[in-house]
Amino acid sequence: MAAKKDAEAIVKTIEAAAMPIVDAAAAQAQSAATVARQGFDQTVAALKDGVTGAVAGLEKTQTEMKTNMDKAFRTAEEFVSFGQGNVEAVVKSGQIWAAGVQAFSKSFASLAQSQMDQTVSVWKAMSGVKSLKDAMDLQSSLTRSSLEAAMSETGKLTDASMKLAEQTIAPITARVTLAVETFGRAA
Protein backbone atom coordinates (compact mmCIF):
# COMPACT_ATOMS: atom_id res chain seq x y z
CA MET A 1 0.00 0.00 0.00
CA ALA A 2 2.82 2.24 0.54
CA ALA A 3 3.72 1.87 -3.10
CA LYS A 4 0.20 2.77 -4.04
CA LYS A 5 0.37 5.87 -1.88
CA ASP A 6 3.73 6.75 -3.36
CA ALA A 7 2.32 6.29 -6.86
CA GLU A 8 -0.69 8.45 -6.05
CA ALA A 9 1.59 11.11 -4.62
CA ILE A 10 3.74 11.04 -7.76
CA VAL A 11 0.65 11.29 -9.96
CA LYS A 12 -0.59 14.26 -7.90
CA THR A 13 2.83 15.90 -8.12
CA ILE A 14 2.99 15.32 -11.86
CA GLU A 15 -0.60 16.56 -12.25
CA ALA A 16 0.21 19.64 -10.21
CA ALA A 17 3.32 20.30 -12.28
CA ALA A 18 1.62 19.50 -15.62
CA MET A 19 -1.55 21.56 -15.07
CA PRO A 20 0.11 24.95 -15.48
CA ILE A 21 1.84 23.67 -18.63
CA VAL A 22 -1.46 22.31 -19.98
CA ASP A 23 -3.24 25.54 -19.07
CA ALA A 24 -0.48 27.61 -20.71
CA ALA A 25 -0.61 25.41 -23.83
CA ALA A 26 -4.40 25.74 -23.97
CA ALA A 27 -4.12 29.51 -23.57
CA GLN A 28 -1.47 29.60 -26.32
CA ALA A 29 -3.67 27.46 -28.57
CA GLN A 30 -6.66 29.71 -27.84
CA SER A 31 -4.57 32.82 -28.59
CA ALA A 32 -3.23 31.29 -31.81
CA ALA A 33 -6.77 30.35 -32.85
CA THR A 34 -7.97 33.91 -32.13
CA VAL A 35 -5.09 35.42 -34.14
CA ALA A 36 -5.71 32.96 -36.97
CA ARG A 37 -9.44 33.78 -36.95
CA GLN A 38 -8.71 37.52 -37.00
CA GLY A 39 -6.23 37.06 -39.88
CA PHE A 40 -8.76 34.96 -41.77
CA ASP A 41 -11.50 37.55 -41.16
CA GLN A 42 -9.17 40.34 -42.33
CA THR A 43 -8.25 38.35 -45.45
CA VAL A 44 -11.92 37.67 -46.24
CA ALA A 45 -12.77 41.37 -45.69
CA ALA A 46 -9.86 42.45 -47.93
CA LEU A 47 -11.00 40.03 -50.64
CA LYS A 48 -14.58 41.33 -50.36
CA ASP A 49 -13.32 44.93 -50.62
CA GLY A 50 -11.14 43.99 -53.60
CA VAL A 51 -14.01 42.26 -55.39
CA THR A 52 -16.35 45.19 -54.61
CA GLY A 53 -13.75 47.65 -55.96
CA ALA A 54 -13.19 45.54 -59.07
CA VAL A 55 -16.95 45.28 -59.71
CA ALA A 56 -17.35 49.05 -59.23
CA GLY A 57 -14.43 49.67 -61.59
CA LEU A 58 -15.93 47.34 -64.20
CA GLU A 59 -19.33 49.02 -63.86
CA LYS A 60 -17.73 52.45 -64.27
CA THR A 61 -15.76 51.27 -67.31
CA GLN A 62 -18.91 49.72 -68.78
CA THR A 63 -20.86 52.96 -68.22
CA GLU A 64 -18.10 55.04 -69.80
CA MET A 65 -17.88 52.68 -72.78
CA LYS A 66 -21.65 52.83 -73.27
CA THR A 67 -21.56 56.64 -73.09
CA ASN A 68 -18.70 56.80 -75.58
CA MET A 69 -20.42 54.34 -77.93
CA ASP A 70 -23.63 56.39 -77.76
CA LYS A 71 -21.62 59.52 -78.63
CA ALA A 72 -19.94 57.70 -81.52
CA PHE A 73 -23.29 56.51 -82.89
CA ARG A 74 -24.79 60.01 -82.57
CA THR A 75 -21.78 61.47 -84.38
CA ALA A 76 -22.08 58.89 -87.14
CA GLU A 77 -25.80 59.62 -87.47
CA GLU A 78 -25.04 63.35 -87.65
CA PHE A 79 -22.46 62.76 -90.41
CA VAL A 80 -24.90 60.60 -92.38
CA SER A 81 -27.65 63.18 -91.94
CA PHE A 82 -25.29 65.99 -92.92
CA GLY A 83 -24.18 64.00 -95.99
CA GLN A 84 -27.82 63.46 -96.99
CA GLY A 85 -28.40 67.20 -96.66
CA ASN A 86 -25.41 67.82 -98.92
CA VAL A 87 -26.76 65.44 -101.56
CA GLU A 88 -30.17 67.11 -101.35
CA ALA A 89 -28.54 70.54 -101.79
CA VAL A 90 -26.63 69.36 -104.87
CA VAL A 91 -29.79 67.84 -106.34
CA LYS A 92 -31.76 71.03 -105.68
CA SER A 93 -28.97 73.10 -107.20
CA GLY A 94 -29.04 70.87 -110.29
CA GLN A 95 -32.82 71.25 -110.57
CA ILE A 96 -32.54 75.04 -110.36
CA TRP A 97 -29.80 75.01 -113.00
CA ALA A 98 -31.80 72.74 -115.32
CA ALA A 99 -34.91 74.92 -114.99
CA GLY A 100 -32.82 78.04 -115.70
CA VAL A 101 -31.17 76.48 -118.75
CA GLN A 102 -34.60 75.41 -119.99
CA ALA A 103 -35.87 78.98 -119.58
CA PHE A 104 -32.80 80.28 -121.47
CA SER A 105 -33.44 77.78 -124.25
CA LYS A 106 -37.04 78.95 -124.56
CA SER A 107 -35.86 82.58 -124.60
CA PHE A 108 -33.31 81.85 -127.31
CA ALA A 109 -35.87 79.92 -129.35
CA SER A 110 -38.37 82.75 -129.00
CA LEU A 111 -35.74 85.35 -129.98
CA ALA A 112 -34.59 83.25 -132.91
CA GLN A 113 -38.19 82.76 -134.05
CA SER A 114 -38.87 86.49 -133.74
CA GLN A 115 -35.72 87.33 -135.72
CA MET A 116 -36.60 84.74 -138.34
CA ASP A 117 -40.16 86.10 -138.67
CA GLN A 118 -38.82 89.64 -138.97
CA THR A 119 -36.25 88.57 -141.61
CA VAL A 120 -38.88 86.68 -143.62
CA SER A 121 -41.17 89.68 -143.40
CA VAL A 122 -38.42 92.02 -144.64
CA TRP A 123 -37.51 89.67 -147.50
CA LYS A 124 -41.15 89.44 -148.52
CA ALA A 125 -41.35 93.24 -148.44
CA MET A 126 -38.16 93.42 -150.52
CA SER A 127 -39.71 91.35 -153.25
CA GLY A 128 -42.21 94.14 -153.79
CA VAL A 129 -39.84 97.17 -153.63
CA LYS A 130 -39.69 99.49 -156.59
CA SER A 131 -36.36 101.13 -155.87
CA LEU A 132 -32.93 100.42 -154.46
CA LYS A 133 -33.48 103.10 -151.82
CA ASP A 134 -36.59 101.27 -150.52
CA ALA A 135 -34.58 98.02 -150.39
CA MET A 136 -31.74 99.77 -148.49
CA ASP A 137 -34.25 101.30 -146.07
CA LEU A 138 -35.81 97.88 -145.41
CA GLN A 139 -32.35 96.32 -144.95
CA SER A 140 -31.33 99.17 -142.63
CA SER A 141 -34.51 98.81 -140.62
CA LEU A 142 -33.93 95.03 -140.27
CA THR A 143 -30.31 95.56 -139.17
CA ARG A 144 -31.26 98.27 -136.66
CA SER A 145 -34.11 96.24 -135.13
CA SER A 146 -31.88 93.14 -135.01
CA LEU A 147 -29.13 95.09 -133.19
CA GLU A 148 -31.62 96.68 -130.80
CA ALA A 149 -33.15 93.27 -130.04
CA ALA A 150 -29.68 91.75 -129.57
CA MET A 151 -28.63 94.54 -127.18
CA SER A 152 -31.87 94.30 -125.24
CA GLU A 153 -31.71 90.50 -125.04
CA THR A 154 -28.01 90.56 -124.08
CA GLY A 155 -28.84 92.73 -121.05
CA LYS A 156 -31.73 90.49 -120.12
CA LEU A 157 -29.57 87.40 -120.64
CA THR A 158 -26.78 88.82 -118.45
CA ASP A 159 -29.23 89.65 -115.65
CA ALA A 160 -30.92 86.26 -115.94
CA SER A 161 -27.51 84.49 -115.94
CA MET A 162 -26.42 86.27 -112.77
CA LYS A 163 -29.73 85.51 -111.08
CA LEU A 164 -29.54 81.84 -112.16
CA ALA A 165 -25.96 81.56 -110.85
CA GLU A 166 -27.03 83.01 -107.47
CA GLN A 167 -30.06 80.73 -107.24
CA THR A 168 -28.05 77.68 -108.31
CA ILE A 169 -25.30 78.20 -105.76
CA ALA A 170 -27.66 79.18 -102.88
CA PRO A 171 -28.41 75.60 -101.63
CA ILE A 172 -24.70 74.72 -101.65
CA THR A 173 -23.75 77.98 -99.95
CA ALA A 174 -26.33 77.26 -97.24
CA ARG A 175 -24.74 73.82 -96.65
CA VAL A 176 -21.25 75.34 -96.43
CA THR A 177 -22.52 77.89 -93.90
CA LEU A 178 -24.17 75.11 -91.90
CA ALA A 179 -20.95 73.05 -92.00
CA VAL A 180 -18.92 75.99 -90.69
CA GLU A 181 -21.46 76.61 -87.91
CA THR A 182 -21.79 72.93 -87.00
CA PHE A 183 -18.18 71.79 -87.21
CA GLY A 184 -16.64 75.15 -86.33
CA ARG A 185 -18.20 75.06 -82.85
CA ALA A 186 -17.31 71.39 -82.35
CA ALA A 187 -13.59 72.08 -82.79
User: Residues 93-131: pLDDT tens digits?
Assistant: 999 999 999 998 898 888 888 888 888 888 888 888 888
pLDDT at residue 17 greater than cutoff 90: no
| Residue 125 neighbours by CB distance under 10 Å | 15
What average pLDDT does the chain have? 85
Range(s) of the domain holding residue 82:
2-186
User: By the 8 A CB rule, do 133 and 186 touch?
Assistant: no
**Closest by Cα among 167, 181, 166, 179 to 85:** 179
Whole-number percent of the chain with pLDDT over 90:
19
pLDDT category at 65 given cuts 50, 70, 90 is very high
Query: What gap in Å lies between CA 67 and CA 64, rounded to an integer?
Result: 5
Cα separation of the two ends of the chain: 111
